[in-house]
Amino acid sequence: MTRSVSHPPYADPFAHPPETSPQELTAQLTPGARFQDVRFENYRPNPEFPSQAQARDQLAEFVRQAGQKASGGGFWPFKRRAPEGRGFYLDGGFGVGKTHLLASAYHAAKGQSGGSGGDVAFMSFQDLMYLIGALGMPQAIETFRNYKLLLIDEFELDDPGNTHMANTFLGGLMPSGVSVVATSNTEPGALGAGRFNAEDFQRQIQGIADRFGPHRIDGPDYRQRGTEPAQPLSEAEFAAWLARQNPQTTALMTHAELNRALLSVHPSRFARVLEQVSGVAVTNLEPMPEQGEALRFVHFVDKVYDLGLSAAFTGVPLNALFDDIYRNGGYAKKYSRALSRLSEMLREARG
């Protein structure tokens, strides 16, 4: 990829994206670097919202019980069937610590299983959809059949296709004993509300909702507590940030170059691509009128954030990135969370 800045040479993780096998795709289903040290014990609930402490305690107990998953006992033909997996659904706005709690659940479950983590997986809902697309539904179900716990962040059914895949996937695993924790900005019974009203779609929505016990978590976006949303860096701020980075492990590209690069890599491989660098700089942010382009950028932002990479952005104000039609449509919560995370990373870039 041609760079507008050629000296010193900056890293280009998209030049030779690593090949990813199905085994590698599932091996990377762990919390990113930003969430490696989070635990139930260091979650700080807002005392003004008791539901936060309640959600933490309820989830910790759910994970403890999931760790006691038993296989069917006895001998054939008297072998007992393993109990069905249970579902825990954490519903609340973005920025209230749902991902912190979900990652804490992962670390707690790993500790119960002796640290192997081989039967616990952590992923976003979009990761799951991409993984099913890459593996195919039968192989995806078979891959996770012996897991005791799946942790799915930002469970959001944006279209009937996703709904059908999620219902089929959960229906293939939970009856055999796999428990699932999911977080979302939407109550389980209201997933997809206001977007698709086809009878079959609503039936599948209800089928998913019935698998989970809902738990509400309230509160404001912690990333914005007491602060104004951050905006892209000025030229001077960007130059100061860039001077602190190692060029050999920092990716530097314009927004237009990034959009072209994201088209060349399947979203399920974004994390593997970004693991090759320690920092990412995207200059000349521009409005994204095309929704496919905007959603790829949102997924990119999520991966940069989860991996804890140093990041800097210049260009238009954040509220100009996404078209108002999209920000207020079916994907509104994806865009809102991306803007919240961009704002936090920009504050970090300023030091």
Q: Decide if 336 contacts 343 (C-beta within 8 A).
A: no
How far, in Å, CA of 259 to CA of 103, rounded?
29
Which amino acid is present at 140? A
Q: 8: pLDDT confidence band, cut at 50, 70 and 90?
A: low
pLDDT reported for residue 246: 95
How far, in Å, CA of 114 to CA of 84, rounded?
23
Residue with tokens 């990412």: 280
pTM, two decimal places: 0.78
Q: Mean pLDDT of all residues in the chain?
A: 84
Among the residue ranges 27-36, 151-160, 247-256, 297-306, the one predicted with the least confidence is 151-160
Burial string for 247-264 (b: 16+ CB within 10 Å, else e) reads eeebbbbbbebbbebbee
Angle at 195 between CA 189 and CA 197, to 5 degrees: 70
- Please list the residues that pair with 179 across neighbouring strands: 149
- Is residue 75 predicted with pLDDT exceeding 50? no
- Is residue 93 predicted with pLDDT exceeding 80? no
In this prediction, residues 255-275 reach a mean pLDDT of 91
Q: pLDDT (tens digit, 9 = 90+) per residue, 117-147? A: 458 999 988 889 888 988 899 999 999 999 9
More confident residue, 314 or 70: 314
Q: Which domains does the chain have, with CATH numbers?
A: 47-216 (3.40.50.300), 222-350 (no CATH)
More confident residue, 105 or 73: 105
- Name the token pair of 71: 């296989």
At 314 the three-state DSSP class reads strand
pLDDT reported for residue 299: 92
pLDDT reported for residue 115: 52
Q: Decide if 337 contacts 153 (C-beta within 8 A).
A: no
By percentage, how much of the chain surpasses pLDDT 70?
Answer: 82
How far, in Å, CA of 323 to CA of 148, rounded?
41
- Is residue 182 predicted with pLDDT exceeding 60? yes
Q: Which residues neighbour 298 within 8 Å (Cβ) at sequence distance 6 or greater? A: 334, 335, 338
- Is residue 195 predicted with pLDDT exceeding 50? no
In this prediction, residues 271-279 reach a mean pLDDT of 93
Q: 231: pLDDT confidence band, cut at 50, 70 and 90?
A: very high
- Is residue 272 predicted with pLDDT exceeding 80? yes
- Specify burial of residue 58 (Cβ count, 10 A radius: 0-12, 13-18, 19+): middle
Which amino acid is present at 71? S
Which residue, 340, 331, 322, 307, is CA-closest to 126? 331
Q: 56: pLDDT confidence band, cut at 50, 70 and 90?
A: very high
pLDDT reported for residue 160: 74
- Cα 260 to Cα 81, 208, 295: the distances in Å are 50, 36, 14
- Is residue 72 predicted with pLDDT exceeding 60? no
State the virtual CA torsion across 176, 191, 302, 42 in degrees, nearest 10: -70
How far, in Å, CA of 74 to CA of 71, rounded?
10
- Is residue 191 predicted with pLDDT exceeding 60? no
In this prediction, residues 63-81 reach a mean pLDDT of 60
